[in-house]
Every structure is written in structure tokens, then in C-alpha cells.
Amino acid sequence: MQIQDLPYPDPGVPDARSGPRFLWWLFRNQLDGQLKALAWGLLHFLSVSALPFCVGVAVQAVVDRSGSRLALAGGLLALCCAGNAIGETFLHRTAVTNWITAAARVQQVLARKTAQLGSALTRRVAAGEVVAVSTGDVEKIGWFVEAWSRFTAAAVTIVVVCVGLVVYQPELGTVVAVGLPVLAIAVLPLLPRATRRADVQREKAGRATELASDTVAGLRVLRGIGGEELFLDRYRSASQEVRHAAVRSARMWSLISAIQVLMPGLLLIAVVWYGVHLARRGQVSIGELVTVYSSIMILTYPLRHFEEIAMAYSFSRPSARRAARVLSLERATDTGGSRDGAEVPSGDLYDPATGLLAPTGRLTAVVCGDPDAAGRLAERLGGHPSEESTSVLLGGVPLDELPLDNARTAVLVQDKDPVLLSGTLRELLDVPRSGDVRPEDALAAAQCEDVLAALVQGSLDADDPMDALITERGRSLSGGQRQRLALARSLITDPGVLVLDEPTSAVDSHTEARIAHGVRKLRAGRTTVVFTSSPLLLDRADRVVLIHDGTVAAIGLHRELVHAEPRYRAVVTRETEEEAAETKTARGDGPAGDRPVKASLEEVLKEEEVLKELEEIEESA
């Protein structure tokens, strides 16, 4: 796999049982790249390691006054330099390719898992941790793959050179062959402590990232309640903990680096002392002594890769563990798509757990006093619940038995906090769609005229609103503007069943009334489920369903339920128990029948009057 061939057609199924198993799975899938790196690495390291031999031959040729051997040494030096240059170039190219392709593979499996879990992911794992895994952790894992590409070649080279030195000069070669493994394992006792400190650093850095991500996501709310400084202090404290952990980790790695410098120096002193002793006795030539001495100097270069691979593994292991934890998550209910190849079903949407029925082609409004319960029900209606439950039926077909793509094609869920990705408005609306709804109609139904004007005004070189840029998460827009753009994006897809969770909670009442009219008109003949407590939306529904204590408590029209069902009225009008009692007595059901009706009910009636006025204006227009 080359960089230009990315993304992978199929990144594979990761082994997410543990961090080391995940790294091993990644290595097996990068085997071709690792073998190429090994070949180029051997060319590079062996060419470098052969330089001392060439120098030794040249020195001995000068001592013996042999011009032919000196010329031979020069030719060998030129050949080694060429091999060094070619090997280093292609080793670096292959190692970086392994890094990027491995990181891309990890990102693809993470993206696939995120798409599979949907909104259930952030209910089971903090959003900040998902961000940390998909950014910093992916980089650390890629670094380990790249370091391994160099390490294998360095390790093989050291073995080959040691064997060669033993054959070339047994006395000094044996000393080097015994000393080099000692150098390689000298730092092993320190690695567990260094790894633990690296793990602590990564954990603290991950928590700081989670805190920063969650704080930025809720910055508007924090400013509104005056909690910005509180969370800023918490992040300062978390960042200081990261700094202290990083310093402690760096101290251990600096000690390891010092040992990696000290031990080869001691070996070099021992070899030179012993070599001079042998040379004085005539057991080794000057050229052989120079060759062995130079070999030790050169071998410190591949030995550094032992330190690098230890450091890369120490930092990548917690990253791999975090990635494996996310990748090991499974959908709460999943039969593996036992109806593969089945067509997308249509018909009534029915939830056996609550008894909620959304008839086909109708606009059904759902009122639920618990916003969290409403969010979970909306997820379940889309076929991707965050907890194990009975499957929702669409046309009598369980959504859990459909392939995930088919289930999401059949039912589209827009949650109460939709995300707008950065890019142009044209790119935002470039989503899978039926083709029956034009972008202009979807934007008009969502009342986005002022949003389009604001986008054009905020863009320097965009005359067409569709070419206007939207910042990350739509931060340059107000909450109501982001909500309406998200609604337009959902409407343009034109799914068979559209589930909207509080789609107008951030807009004013007049805009909300026009949105209710636009959605009803645009979705005519299509199944639409709206979770809301707004009387303006409820009045537009073909049927209203009250969910109380997890089951259907009442069904009817808004005007009927607001007068006949106290539990419904309590949710829609925010009526307290005392106010409900006063409303009851005002109707003559209690001893104080002359008490006036509470303002909450009057407000509902006023909103209904506003809605009627808007209807008359629209009809006359």
C-alpha cells in the first residue's frame, strides 16, 4: 500500500483485545512495508558498518605500501557510500510510508467504529477521549510502526557485524560480540519504570485533552453561568500535572540516553586497551585494530535504534490500549444484519418498548417530560440505541435485523445538538439524498433566509450563499442559525422516516411557527416524528403522543390533550402541581370555582392565536 492509494478499500477487522494485540495486528497488516524497510535498512546499515573494514584495509595498505590494495579500499569505500546513500533514502521513504499508512489504517477503523456506534459512542466514551485517540494516539502508534521499520534492520546488522568481527579478528571480535549484547540490554532494568512514567504522562495528557475538548464544546453555557474561570482553573491544574509527569518521564529517558552513551564508551576503551596489548605482541595488525575500533564507533548508530524502539513502544502502548478500548465497543443491539441484501422497508414505525406508533405518511409529535429519555427513544427509533432494548419495527421489520446502512437509509435521526462540519454550505448539504427535495426548498422550509444573508456578509469572496464558508462546528453562527441549517440538511436527504429531536428549541416563536408550516408542507406524505414540547409544533402534528414513565400515556390532537390531559399540559405549559390545582378549580371542579385560569394556559392559547394569524397571512399570500 502506497500513500497515493489511500484510503484502504478495507482496513480489516482489528484485534482490540488489548493494546499489544492491536499493535501486533497492525504489524501483520503492514508486513509488506516492513519487509521493504528491512531490505533497504540492511543495505543502509551494512553499508555504514562496512566503512570501518574499508578504512582498515586502506590503513593496512598504506602501512604495507600496497597501491593495489589501497585502490581496492577506495573502490569499496565508494561502493559503501553509494549503498549508504541509496539505502538511507529508500529506508526513510519506506519507513515514513509505513507510518502514514498505519496511521491511516487506524483512523479508518476508528472512523468505521464511530459511524457504527453513532451517538451511542459519546454516551460510553468521553468525547475528549475520542478526539485524543483519533489525533495524538494515532500519531504515537504510527511512530512505533516507523521505529520498528528501522529497528529490525539495525538489530540484524548488529548480529551480522558481530559475527563478521569474530571471523575477521577472533580475539577482538569476541570482546565486541560479548560487549554489544550487554550494551543492548543494559537499559532493560530501567524500561519498566520509564514505561510507567510514560503511561502516567499519557493518561494525564488524555484527561487534559478531554477537559479542554469538553470545556470548549460547552463554552457558551459556561460563560452564561459564569463558570468559565472555574473550568479554566481546572485546565491549568490538569496541564501542570501533565508538565510534571512529562518532566519525570524525560528524566528517566535522559538517564537511559546517558547509559547508551556511557556503555559504548567503556566498551571502546576496553577494546582499544586490549587491542593495543595484542598489537604490541604482534597478534593483530594495525589495520585490524583500526577496523575493530571503527566498527564500535559505527555500531553506536544502529544501537540508538534500540533506545528509540523502547521509547516508541512505551509511548504507543497506552495509545494502543486506548484505541483498542474504543474499537472493542459494540452496538447495544446488533444481529449482524441477518437480512443482508434486503430492500429498505417502509410502513409504520413502531416501538414495542414504549408502544409508540408513527403511522406512515403522517406527522407525529412526541411529548416526553424527560429530555434524556426522549433522546434515548429518538436513538432507538433510528435503530442505533445506546443500551440494549427491544428492536423498533419499520413496516413490521426489526431495524436491528437490517444492515446498518439500510437502517440508516430508512430512518434518519437528527439529535438535539447537531454538528456542522467546516466547509462551504454546498459541501454541508452534499449528503446522500433521494433527489426529490431541492436545496432551495429545504432551506426555505427551515427558514434559513437570514442565515444565508449572514453567511454571504461574513464571506469576503462569496456572492453565492452556497459558496460561503462555515467555520468549525458553525461557531460563527448563533444557536438558532446552526439549528436551522442542520434541519435543512436533514430535510434535503428526504428519508422515508425522519426523526427530529427538539429541532426548534433555539428559535423564536414566529420563526418556529413558519418552520412548523414549512416542515409539514415539505414532508407531506412522508413519515415524520418530532420530539418537542412546543405548542406551535404540536398544533401542526397529525397526532400527538404523550410518553410518561417510559410508555404511551395519551394520544390525540394538541388542542384536545392540552385541555383533557393534566400530565400533557404540565409538560407543554410548564405548569406546576399548584397551578394545575388552581386550573382545575377554575373550571368548577373544586370549591374555589371563581379563581382565574393560570397564565401558563393563557400563554398556550395566545400561541395558538398567533399560529392562526400566521396561517391566515400565509393563505392570503
Task: Give me the average pLDDT of each 10-residue run along the chain (621 residues).
Answer: 81 90 90 92 90 83 85 90 93 92 91 79 71 81 90 89 84 82 77 80 77 63 61 82 89 84 82 82 78 78 82 84 87 58 80 93 92 86 76 87 82 86 86 87 92 81 81 77 92 93 89 92 93 91 93 93 90 66 51 39 52 54 48
Q: What are phi and psi of 19, to 5 degrees?
A: -65, -50
CA 492 to chain centre: 27
Please report the pLDDT score of residue 222 as a whole number.
54
Which of these, 484, 452, 483, lies nearest to 469 by C-alpha position? 452
Please report the pLDDT score of residue 596 as a whole number.
38
**Helix 599-620 with 509-522: angle, nearest 10 deg:** 50
Q: What are phi and psi of 414, to 5 degrees?
A: -110, 115
Distance CA(100)–CA(106), nearest Å, equals: 10
Please report the pLDDT score of residue 217 as a whole number.
60
Q: What are phi and psi of 393, to 5 degrees?
A: -105, 135
Instruction: Calculate the alpha carbon distances from 77 to 60, 146, 159 in Å.
Output: 15, 29, 22
3-state secondary structure (DSSP) of residue 238: helix
Q: Would residue 304 be called left, alpha or beta, if left means φ above 0 and alpha means ψ between -120 and 50 degrees?
A: alpha
Other beta carbons within 10 Å of 372: 8
Burial group, residue 498, by CB count within 10 angstroms (0-12, 13-18, 19+): buried
Please report the pLDDT score of residue 600 as a whole number.
46
Please report the pLDDT score of residue 594 as a whole number.
36
Is 88 in contact with 69 (CB distance < 8 Å)? Answer: no
Distance CA(141)–CA(313), nearest Å, equals: 8
Q: Cα torsion for 173, 179, 180, 186, to the nearest 10°? A: 180
Other beta carbons within 10 Å of 27: 16
Q: What are phi and psi of 14, to 5 degrees?
A: -75, 150
Cell of 393: 419495527
**CA torsion sign, 378 to 382 to 388 to 392?**
positive
DSSP-assigned beta bridge partners for residue 414: 500
Residues in the chain: 621
Q: What are phi and psi of 531, to 5 degrees?
A: -90, 115
3-state secondary structure (DSSP) of residue 411: strand
E-strand stretches of 256-410: 349-351, 356-358, 363-368, 393-394, 397-398
The H or E element spanning position 498 is strand 497-501
Please report the pLDDT score of residue 590 as a whole number.
44
Is 602 in contact with 560 (CB distance < 8 Å)? Answer: no
Residue 621: CA atoms inside 13 Å, Cβ hemisphere, count? 6
Please report the pLDDT score of residue 305 as a whole number.
84
